[in-house]
Amino acid sequence: MTTHAWVVGGRGLLGSAVTRAVRERSGWTLAASEPLPWGDAGELALASEDIALELLAGLEDGDDWCLLWCAGRAVTSSSDADLDDELDQFASVLAGLQLALDAGQHSRPGSLFYASSAGGVYGGAVGRPPFDETTPPRPLSGYGRFKLDAERIATAFAERLGLSSVNGRIANLYGPGQSLDKMQGLISHLARAQLSPAPASVYVSLDTLRDYIYVDDCADLVLDCVARSLHGAGLGTPTAVTKNLISGQGVTIAALIAQLKTISKRNANVMLGSSAAAALQAHDLRLASVVWPDLDARDLTPLAVGIHNTLDEMRGLMQRGGA
């Protein structure tokens, strides 16, 4: 039995790690797919249909499949128009998948994974941290509301077509491969500043608490969740789950800066400032998970090791003129 995985957004931080994890995992295979035409909704749906048809046609007896949505350029400060465009892109890809499924060329179970944002969803959560899946979502920004809308679309789509679904609410993702064009990825921005004359700007309190999960750890957890959704409830029984994908450790920005200082053996290159966007950032976003907690019983990459790996990648990029 083989699980055929279609990774959407396979060149981003999470997507590239998930792609590696699929290639390295026994019993999994990566579905071939070209970059999607994101700028045209009609072309996007047609291209997605073609990829899905090829994916489904390659299934043999006993195989199953999944679509792993790791795409997206939206950040907390994205405009409503940009968020709407990204939601439309998600809907277009799902429309293409539905066309392929409606062609009736398969009878095997499938699963849809959507990469959501714990920070966006729980940004204004009421109560004492850590926040888990029983905590009522309360976004502080349009970005958080967009993520909840996408979760609902994913769940409804899967239920309508008899698929399993996993909405993975991911903590602060970090590691090699972070795009520095986005205003996110604090560890990568701090790492670049440690190696360059330009300081990193920090607009929130240094005692701000976040949960940081190393990208390769998160990718492995994504595949474990999808495998559980496909088989955990019994073959042919769709499962709809929302799970926090986390390290379970709260870390302050001050602690991150101290780690970078120790590893790089130089003073932190950080400039403290203020910004109206800071109002969209909660002070304490420690996280927990009560859904499938056995999947969280794993060895995780220590923060110091993950920061060291991120610094090494940043050093290489800067030497090649790429950062």
78: which DSSP letter? -
Q: What is the largest CA-CA distance in the chain?
A: 61
Q: Tell me: the pLDDT tens digits for 132-145? A: 999 999 999 999 99
- Whether the pLDDT of residue 322 is over 70: the answer is no
96 inside domain = yes
- Whether the pLDDT of residue 316 is over 90: the answer is no
312 inside domain = no
- 21: containing domain: 3-172+213-247
The mean pLDDT value of the chain amounts to 92
101 inside domain = yes
Tracing tokens 């899946």 back to the chain, one arrives at: 133
Q: How many domains, the chain?
A: 1
Q: Supply the pLDDT for residue 278.
A: 62
- Per-residue pLDDT band for 178 (boundaries 50, 70, 90) equals confident
Q: Quick count: other Cβ atoms within 10 Å of Cβ 37?
A: 15
| Of 141-150, 158-167, 194-203, 214-223, minimum mean pLDDT range | 194-203
- Per-residue pLDDT band for 169 (boundaries 50, 70, 90) equals very high
What is the C-alpha separation between 81 and 248, in angstroms, rounded?
34
Q: Supply the pLDDT for residue 122.
A: 97
Amino acid at 86: E
**Sign of torsion over alpha carbons 73, 79, 80, 82:** negative
Q: Supply the pLDDT for residue 201.
A: 87
- Per-residue pLDDT band for 179 (boundaries 50, 70, 90) equals confident
152 inside domain = yes
CATH number at residue 101: 3.40.50.720
Give yes or no for a cis peptide into 176 (omega within 30° of 0): no
What is the C-alpha separation between 46 and 74, in angstroms, rounded?
23
- For the chain, first and last CA: distance in Å? 42
Residue 216, burial from CB neighbour count under 10 angstroms (0-12, 13-18, 19+): buried
Side-chain half-sphere CA neighbours of 47 within 13 A: 17
191 inside domain = no
70 inside domain = yes
Q: Tell me: the pLDDT tens digits for 187-212? A: 999 999 998 888 998 988 999 999 99
231 inside domain = yes
124 inside domain = yes
